Amino acid sequence: MTMTPSDRAERELKNLEAVAGNGLLHRRAFLRGGAALAGAMTGYTLVPSASGQQLADDAWSLVPGVTVPDYGTRSRFEKNVVRTLSNPKGEPRTQHARTPHHLLNGTFTPNGLHFVISHAGDPDIDPDKHRLVIHGLVKQPLVFTLDALARYPMVSRMAFVECGGNSAPLFSLEPIQASVQALHGLVSCAEWTGVPLSTLLDEAGIDPKAKWIVVEGGDPPHVSRSVPLAKAMDDAMIALYQNGERIMPGNGYPMRLLLPGWEGNMNTKWVRRIQLTEGPGMTFYEARTYAPVLPGGKAYRFYFIQEVKSFITHPSPGLALKGPGFYEISGIAYSGTGRIAKVMVSADGGKSWAQAALQQPVLNKAFTRFRVPWRWDGGPAVLQSRAWDEAGYEQPTRAQLVAARGETTRVPAVTGFPSQHYNAVTSWSIERGGEVKHVYA
Ligand SMILES: Nc1nc2c(c(=O)[nH]1)N[C@H]1C(S)=C(S)[C@@H](COP(=O)(O)O)O[C@H]1N2
Ligand SMILES: [Mo]
């Protein structure tokens, strides 16, 4: 007896182990290979079978193509993959550009799509004229040109940068209907290359009285933040390259401070001054904007770490499901304290959970892509992800976070009400027609 494709699919289907409600499958199913998996879910294959005539000779296959450009840009068909801008006319206030996570995949953010927050636009810095000064409680103050810095031993590492205000819309009383880009677009991940800050501080000679550094940018507001010396000596970097090329103007060209895992605002762009001090500077941004206020009226003085977090990018609002059957649920997880240890995914609003496959390599303080095989039966479902890091921290539920930190009708609130460090679970509801909505579950 010969097996038909549907017999085979039937048998495969029996082998696929549902491990949680609403059709979440064991991640082991991926080991079967994508085609077998997708085929088993749909009965056949996801696409119609091909015949020779279906390969048409379109114009591009008949005449020579365009001249190879000296700097490559993406296909003209990808022009919709862009950041969204909060201040497109560049009025004299903060500008935000948000990463379109629902249109990307993998773990690092292309340079042109890395999120940007610039409090007074992106300065047009001539790299030959830019200087970095290290002074204060040091034996020998030093001034570095870009050329001088380029002669030090460099290191590369993947690291995410996240604004403390990312995801602030989720502090609102009602779920705001918006894309993952609008809700979580103020986080990105890149490979950064540069000189360890410890090398430069050692060379300047640290006075034992020094416990902090106050770091200043070369943009007009001279954005300044204080960083404990221990972090500066641990994994801080003066970054010169972003995904292999010089840092983008919006991300700090020609140099920025990188503090892996710490609040975005502390990662001073266009860095020009590092002063070693006994105490923190209590600068504008740390004394006001980035001092989250608690429901009782107390405030965090500093909130350094971007805590463990995850969200589902596929599917997500704007990416509607096209009929029942197989889907891969995937998203991003990261933690400012270390590596991601585990991500669990629910399709029934948190009643039951399946463990996601973590795409290797799982790197310290960098994006980890997680994936779960899912068979959507066409009925209502609520998708959630929840991450744990290697230090044992677990991503809170929204109820847990709101109990500790409050919620607000003022969104996006700038200060005074909760508007910083939302790292709780995000929920996407799948409606009957396949549309995806933001809900609180
Ligand atoms: N000098 C300077 N550094 C800065 C800023 C700025 O406006 N000026 N914005 C900060 C904020 S609020 C964040 S969240 C991060 C964002 O880094 P990115 O724009 O490279 O993504 O940079 C920080 N560093
Ligand atoms: Mo920020």
Q: Which of 238, 254, 288 is the last residue of a domain?
A: 288
Residue 15, in any domain of the structure = no
Mean pLDDT, rounded, for 76-89? 97
pLDDT in tens, 136-192: 999 999 999 999 999 999 999 999 999 999 999 999 999 999 999 999 999 999 999
For the chain, percent helix, then strand, then coil, each to nearest 5? 20, 30, 50
Which of 224, 255, 288 corresponds to the end of one domain?
A: 288
Of all protein residues, the one whose alpha carbon is nearest to atom 18 of ligand 1 is: 116
> Who wins on pLDDT, 328 or 43?
328
In a domain, 348, yes or no: yes
Residue 57 lies in a domain: no
DSSP count for the chain of H helices, then E strands: 8, 24
**Of 26-30, 215-219, 293-297, 336-340, where does mean pLDDT reach its minimum?**
293-297
State phi, psi for 74 to the nearest 5 degrees: -70, 170
Task: Count CB neighbours of 89 within 10 A.
Answer: 6
Predicted local distance difference test score (pLDDT) of residue 415: 47
Q: Is 245 a domain residue?
A: yes
| pLDDT tens-digit series, residues 225-259 | 999 999 999 999 999 999 999 999 999 999 999 99
Q: Are residues 275 and 327 in the same domain?
A: no
Cα dihedral across residues 167, 378, 319, 330: positive or negative: positive
Cα of 28 from ligand 1 centre, angstroms = 41
Do 141 and 281 share a structural domain?
A: yes
Percent of all residues in the chain with a pLDDT value above 90, rounded to a whole number: 81
- CA nearest ligand 1 atom 12, residue: 265
For residue 114, being part of any structural domain is answered with: no
Q: Answer whether the bond into residue 412 is a cis peptide, omega within 30°.
A: yes
* Average pLDDT value over all residues in the chain: 92
Here the tokens at position 151 are 């002669």
> How far apart are the CA of 13 and the centre of ligand 2, in A?
47
Nearest residue to 19 (alpha-carbon basis) of 377, 331, 353:
353
Specify the pLDDT at position 413: 43
Residue range of the domain that includes 248: 132-178+185-288
Owner of token pair 């497109």: 88
Indicate which CATH number applies to the domain containing 145: 3.90.420.10
How far apart, in whole angstroms, are the C-alpha atoms of residue 427 and residue 345? 11
Encode pLDDT of 98-128 as tens digits.
999 999 999 999 999 999 999 999 999 999 9
Single pTM value for the model: 0.94
**422 located within any domain:** yes
Q: What is the mean pLDDT of residues 33-55?
A: 66
Closest-lying ligand to the alpha carbon of 116?
Answer: 1
Are 319 and 264 contained in the same domain? no
Same domain, residue pair 258 and 161: yes
Indicate if 344 and 267 belong to the same structural domain.
no
Gap from CA of 328 to ligand 2 centroid (Å): 32
Q: In this structure, are 328 and 258 located in the same domain?
A: no
Query: How far is it, in rounded angstroms, from Cα 387 to Cα 309?
Result: 6
State the pLDDT at residue 416.
Answer: 47
Average pLDDT (210-227) is 97
Residues with CB under 6 A from ligand 1: 114-119, 161, 163, 217, 219, 223, 250-252, 264-265, 267-270
Residues 302-314 have a mean pLDDT of 97
Atom of ligand 1 nearest to the CA of 250: 19
Using the atom order of ligand 1, give the atom closest to the CA of residue 285. Answer: 12
Give a yes or no: residue 319 inside a domain.
Answer: yes
288, 319, 351: which is the final residue of a domain?
288
Q: What is the CATH number of the domain that holds 327?
A: 2.60.40.650
Are residues 366 and 427 part of one domain? Answer: yes
Phi, then psi, of 25 in degrees rounded to 5: -105, 160
For residue 118, which atom of ligand 1 is closest to its CA? 7
* Contact assessment for residue 420 and residue 164, using Cβ atoms and an 8 Å cutoff: yes
Residues 388, 272: one domain?
Answer: no
Kindly identify the ligand whose nearest atom is closest to the C-alpha of 190.
Answer: 1
| pLDDT band at residue 297 using 50, 70 and 90 as cut-offs | confident
Residue 341 resides in a domain = yes
pLDDT band at 301 (very low <50, low <70, confident <90, very high): confident
The number of C-alpha atoms within 13 Å of 179 and in the hemisphere containing its C-beta is 16
* More confident position, 414 or 351: 351
**Whether residues 157 and 238 fall in one domain:** yes
Three-state secondary structure call for residue 258: strand
Percent of the chain with pLDDT over 70: 90
Q: Give mean pLDDT, residues 385-407.
A: 95
Which ligand has the nearest atom to the CA of 96?
1
- Kindly state whether residues 147 and 275 are assigned to the same domain: yes
Tell whether 277 and 336 lie within a shared domain.
no
376 shares a domain with 319: yes
Q: How many domains does the chain have?
A: 2
